[in-house]
């Protein structure tokens, strides 16, 4: 789960990490009054859960409350990478001397957490890692042992930051780790961590991702969830319905199946057969008529979809039960597009018979099924 910058800053502040004074605003009026409150120059920042806000014009400096209002008006309602800007964070403008990067995340390959510190902050850290890896210090954290002081020392002295600020940065890193663990983070990032011209060290930006699997024990954070804030409308709808759906958006074939690996493979086979998968959709283990119906409905929300390929491996699930659900679901479809069904497993033959005379086309392998749907859609997409 992602949360907004202003929410992440609230979390940071709770753990004692210094952030610039500021407040979220939902309208140009509010932007002006927050700017008034803060006094002096302010920065107006679009709150959208996507990177590259700055380049997209979503972050602007304002000289006065009036100017802030004007900037707020420009930013609110913008569309950044498909996400509408509904709120902005207004913060006091900071005079920056240095921009650093500090982040904690999971290093999946090392099976450990990792602390990353770099003097090259304020830019895309992955790019820094690729171009100038020597500017980045990484230390792995065994969560049983916890982040130790010597590891922070290594990271700070290896990162190229101004070591006269080592004490402040050390304290912030300690708090960031404490925060990361306490909130079940999968990412806690300060980019940039700035040294101001007055020598203060402040988190100018804040990014927190929370492990979805851990939300059950993070009720306070779960409340911050905005379903759909980082996804498109169909994905948001799928999330509401509890269905694992990913939108690729530029394909003609809707793909669904049971099991993530099987669905991904099905997409690959459809693509190889000359079709273009429009989505990933995993109906999971319980292929009930209700789930299948919801799944069809979701897939058809994208008007680009003009055919569906459904691929089920019946391990414990019986094929006849699935077939029955499919037939019922199809009847309720708002748009009757061609549907190819590939099923294998218990009662495969019965299922096949049941489908005879329905608009649903049965195929016995993934490859022939994919070829069939592509053929029905008129060949190459």
Partner 1 sequence: MAILADKNSRVLVQGITGGEGSFHTPRMIEYGTNVVAGVTPGKGGSTWQPEGVANPVPVFDTVEDAVEETGADASVIFVPKRFAPDAVMEAADSGIEVIVAISDGIPINDMVKVYSFMQHTMTTLIGPNCPGLVSVDECKLGIMPNHIFKPGPVGVISRSGTLTYEVVNQLSEGGLGQTTCIGVGGDPIIGTSFLELLMEFEQDSATECVVIVGEIGGSDEEDAAEFIPEMSKPVVAFISGRTAPPGKRMGHAGAIVSGGKGTAESKIKAFEAANTPVADTVPDIVRLCKESLGK
Residues that bind partner 1 (CB under 8 A): 106, 108-109, 111-113, 126, 130, 142-145, 148-150, 153-154, 157-158, 163, 166, 181, 184-186, 211-214, 216-217, 244, 246, 248, 257-265, 267-272, 277, 280, 282, 313, 315-316, 344-346, 365-367
Phi, psi of 101 (to 5 degrees): -120, 135
Nearer to partner 1, 92 or 170 (CB): 170
d(CA 181, CA 146): 10
Tokens representing residue 353 in the block:
């018979």
Residue in 5, 32, 99, 189 annotated catalytic:
189
Q: Give yes or no: 330 in active site.
A: no
Nearest distance from C-beta of residue 163 to partner 1, angstroms: 7
Q: How far is the CB of 113 from partner 1 (least distance, A)?
A: 6
The alpha carbon of residue 147 and the mean position of all alpha carbons in its chain are separated, in whole angstroms, by 27
Residue 20 or residue 121: which is nearer to partner 1 going by CB?
121
189 is catalytic: yes
Where residue 347 falls (left for φ over 0; alpha for ψ -120 to 50; beta otherwise) is left
Exactly one of 101, 245, 330, 362 is catalytic; name it. 101
Q: Are 255 and 263 in contact (CB under 8 A)?
A: yes
Please name every residue paired with 269 in a beta bridge, in sequence order, or none if there are none.
Answer: none
For the chain, how far is it from start to end, CA to CA, in angstroms?
35
Nearer to partner 1, 95 or 367 (CB): 367
Closer CB to partner 1, 44 or 147, in the complex: 147
Q: What are phi and psi of 204, to 5 degrees?
A: -80, -30
Nearer to partner 1, 62 or 229 (CB): 229
CA gap 225, 372 in Å, rounded: 41
Is the separation of the CB atoms in 83 and 58 below 8 Å?
Answer: no
Question: Containing H/E element for 238?
Answer: helix 233-241
- How far apart are alpha carbons 270 and 280 in whole angstroms? 12
Active site residues: 101, 189
């Amino acid at each position: 789960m992602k949360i907004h910058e202003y929410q992440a800053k609230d979390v940071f502040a709770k753990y004692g990490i210094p952030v610039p004074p500021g407040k979220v605003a939902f309208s140009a009026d509010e932007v002006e009054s927050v700017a008034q409150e803060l006094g002096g120059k302010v920065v107006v920042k679009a709150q959208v859960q996507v990177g590259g806000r700055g380049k997209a014009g979503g972050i602007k400096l304002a000289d006065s409350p009036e100017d802030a209002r004007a900037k707020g008006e420009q930013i609110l309602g913008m569309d950044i990478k498909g996400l509408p800007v509904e709120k902005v964070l207004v913060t006091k403008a900071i005079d920056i001397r240095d921009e650093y990067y500090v982040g904690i995340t999971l290093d999946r390959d090392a099976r450990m957490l990792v602390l990353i510190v770099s003097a090259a902050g304020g830019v895309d850290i992955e790019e820094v890692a690729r171009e100038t890896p020597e500017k980045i210090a990484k230390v792995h954290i065994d969560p049983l042992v916890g982040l130790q002081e010597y590891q922070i020392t290594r990271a700070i002295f290896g990162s190229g930051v101004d070591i006269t600020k080592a004490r402040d940065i050390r304290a912030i890193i300690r708090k960031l780790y404490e925060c990361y663990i306490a909130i079940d983070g999968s990412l806690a990032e300060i980019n940039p961590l700035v040294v101001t011209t007055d020598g203060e060290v402040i988190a100018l930006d804040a990014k927190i991702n929370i492990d979805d699997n851990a939300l059950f024990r993070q009720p306070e954070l779960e409340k911050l969830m905005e379903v759909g804030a980082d996804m498109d409308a169909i994905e948001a709808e799928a999330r509401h319905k509890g269905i694992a759906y990913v939108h690729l958006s530029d394909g003609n074939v809707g793909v669904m199946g049971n099991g993530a690996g099987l669905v991904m493979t099905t997409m690959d086979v459809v693509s190889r057969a000359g079709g273009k998968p429009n989505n990933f959709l995993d109906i999971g283990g319980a292929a009930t008529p209700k789930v299948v119906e919801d799944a069809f409905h979701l897939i058809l929300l994208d008007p680009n979809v003009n055919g569906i390929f459904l691929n089920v491996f019946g391990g414990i699930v019986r094929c006849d039960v699935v077939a029955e659900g499919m037939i019922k679901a199809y009847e309720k479809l708002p748009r009757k597009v061609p549907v190819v069904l590939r099923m294998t497993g218990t009662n495969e033959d019965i299922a096949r018979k049941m489908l005879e005379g329905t608009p649903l086309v049965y195929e016995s392998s993934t490859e022939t099924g994919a070829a069939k749907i592509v053929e029905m859609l008129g060949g190459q997409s």
